[in-house]
Amino acid sequence: MSTPTPSKPEDEYFSKIEAEKKKKLSEEIKQALDAEERKKLKEAHWMHCPKCGMDLHAVVFRGVTVDKCFGCQGVFLDDGELEKIAGEESGFLPGLMSLFRF
């Protein structure tokens, strides 16, 4: 008794499933390595000036804690800190735009 040969659509289906499994496994490995690498980079560069490499120091400026390098006099802001320092924009256009925000 001979075994039935798979049809072309069946072969394609199983090949597609196998390729998806390999792709998912590859992405999981990549994410694990990326997370490890990001952790190492963060430990190496945390609170170091990106310009000159000296230590950054937290200083309060206008009620916002910013990172300052006393080596090159650079000031570095985290997400949202510039908006806090600059304050709200005033005028017609920002007022008009605020009407359309949800």
CA 44, 48, 51, 54 dihedral sign is negative
Phi, psi of 3 (to 5 degrees): -85, 140
More confident residue, 37 or 102: 37
pTM above 0.95, yes or no: no
Give the residues across from 69 on adjacent strands.
Answer: 56
Render pLDDT for 61-101 as a digit per residue (tens, 0 to 9). Answer: 888 999 999 999 999 999 888 888 887 666 666 666 666 66
| Order of strands across the sheet that contains 75-76 | 56-61, 64-69, 75-76
